Amino acid sequence: MNTCAYLEKAARQWGDNLAYVHGADSIDYRGFYDRVLRLAGGLLALGLQRGDRVAYALPNSPRILETVYACFAAGLIVVPINARLHPREMAYIATDSAARVLIYGPTFDEGLREHRALFGTVEHWIGIEPHAGAAVFEEILQSGPRLERPVDVDPTEPCWLFYTSGTTGRPKGATWSHRTTSAVTMNYLADVYNIQPGEVVLHTAPMSHGSGIVAMPVVARGATNAIMDTASFDPKSLFETIERTRTSHIAFVAPTQIIAMLDAFKPGEYDLSGLRAICYGGAPIYVEQLRRAIDAFGPIFTQIYGQGEAPITISGLPASAHRSLIEAGDGRIGSAGQVRTDVEVRIIGPDDEILPLGSVGEIVARGDVVMLGYWNNPEATAETLRDGWLHTGDVGLLDDQGYLYLLDRAKDIIISGGNNIYPREVEEVIVQHPGVFNCVVLGVPHDYWGEAVHAVVMPEAGVELDEQEIIGFCSQYLAGYKKPKSVEIVDELPLSGYGKVQRREMREKYWVGHGRAIGGGGIDQPEHSA
């Protein structure tokens, strides 16, 4: 089934319901579906063929929803690009996916124009507003013959490339089929929050990632996508929007945003009584912070654990469990919840053998929610999808009641404010500095971000470096959230007997007295963990 069929049915059954609202921009489902079919026709009129890739770099807006569903309808593959990336990073994703179209917002025009030569496969530049050398989104939408209906597709056909980095630091395109996106849609409604027609679901996190994925079950139920129109996360604006729109559900927030909401919250200042669910994930949140959040906003939090290779999600902890576990003082509040209804999870050892309950090992998962593989990367696909299982690279355990605990990462990923940052990617930039001999990038504890990027830098002999010079150099190549928050200049890096930098040993000194659990509700491991 074409994922656009969910929108087709919503337009038929709930055509008068508001599909989205973004400032003064709003439309009902009947009008939304018409714009999607027109945009799909306009893209095909450019000469695109079924299976071609369409990338977008857009701030949160309805144009994201229209682009995604137009690609579904036309049998094209959508490639979301994080709007916070550096143009060089955007260019890598566009080129790796061989995107023929790039749809972008006005805030990116200068940077993209400067680096335009790096976007080697892009033939059609489409701006939301008029810009030199680019077509205009609205004109493309109105230019081609409107599709009669979404094209028929095989459920295994790719429809979405979600770029996620690996230990090499190079982003990889996790390939989702229409079956994947359908599983995401149905599983969210079944296990996370059962959205109802006419409800208002608020998007405040980037829609190129988790929040935009949640838009699919919103559309399937004919509910309203309310999109924040602030440039960055602002708790006061969030509260005002919740009150004004009578928001019932926040699609997705990172724990750092929950902390910011707590800092800004004043009882009775805004009417938040309509809120029935807040979905969070992507990083740790400590039990005390979660307890404070429940005291402030009510027992409405639901946690999800997944990754780009198995989107929303592998496991989850619903609002009812948050309430009961907190009240009982149950340590399972520190888990990532129970495995989703139609997902299987195992804990395996070094030789891929299945370990007994309570044993610590790598988390592997399978189900329709798992990606087809990495785009044009058979080696990485073979390594990650072995014997029919997704090897997550996360270390954890399953207890005897099916609760999944995340204890560490087999890969050296840093999660800062809900963003995945891969040390090798940052290291490869730092070592390009002519004064740097070698470096190691680590995640270190941070009260607000959960983890912060910390670089340990060894200069070339006779060269003097300082913190700001390294951070400034990184600014030329990396998104702001990937830059080191701190830099330590050292004479030598510790090496093992094999000549490898002892990354884990270096990291441990920063984490003395801190938990290292990830993605769950707290920092303590269960008493029965190995």
- Which pLDDT tens digit goes with each residue over 197-217? 999 999 999 999 899 999 999
d(CA 127, CA 133): 9
pLDDT of residue 485: 94
**CA-based end-to-end distance of the chain:** 44
Amino acid, single-letter form, for residue 98: A
pLDDT at 408 over 70: no
pLDDT at 167 over 60: no
d(CA 523, CA 283): 11
d(CA 286, CA 288): 6
Over residues 269-298, the pLDDT tens digits come to 999 999 999 999 876 676 777 888 999 999
Amino acid, single-letter form, for residue 358: G
Mean pLDDT over 487-507 rounds to 76
Structural domain spans, the chain: 4-283, 414-493
pLDDT at 526 over 80: no
* Residues 245, 239 contacting (CB under 8 angstroms): no
* Residues 298, 275 contacting (CB under 8 angstroms): yes
d(CA 428, CA 204): 32
DSSP bridge pairs for 453: 443
Helix (H) / strand (E) containing 181? helix 178-187
d(CA 518, CA 528): 18
- Among 207, 241, 212, 195, smallest CA distance to 83 is for 207
At 244, is the secondary structure helix, strand, or coil?
helix
Over residues 26-51, the pLDDT tens digits come to 999 999 999 999 999 999 999 999 99
Maximum distance among all alpha carbons in the chain?
72
* Backbone phi, psi, residue 307, to 5°: -160, 175
Alpha-carbon distances of 36 from 106, 135, 149, 366, 489, rounded to whole Å: 21, 18, 10, 32, 53
- Among 328, 332, 297, 329, smallest CA distance to 317 is for 332
pLDDT band at residue 83, thresholds of 50, 70 and 90?
confident
Provide the CATH topology of domain 4-283.
Rossmann fold (3.40.50)
Long-range contacts of 113-119 (CB under 8 A, 24+ apart): 114/87, 115/87, 115/88, 115/90, 115/91, 118/87, 118/88, 118/91, 118/92, 119/90, 119/91, 119/94, 119/95
CATH of domain 414-493: 3.30.300.30
Residue at token pair 């605990």: 405
Over residues 214-243, the pLDDT tens digits come to 999 999 999 999 999 887 889 999 999 999
* Backbone phi, psi, residue 436, to 5°: -100, 130
d(CA 478, CA 504): 24
At 1, is the secondary structure helix, strand, or coil?
coil
Q: Following DSSP, what letter does each residue of 39-73 receive, concatenated?
A: HHHHHHHTT--TT-EEEEE--SSHHHHHHHHHHHH
This prediction's pTM? 0.85
pLDDT band at residue 423, thresholds of 50, 70 and 90?
confident
pLDDT of residue 410: 65
- Among 251, 180, 212, smallest CA distance to 80 is for 212
* Residues 294, 323 contacting (CB under 8 angstroms): yes
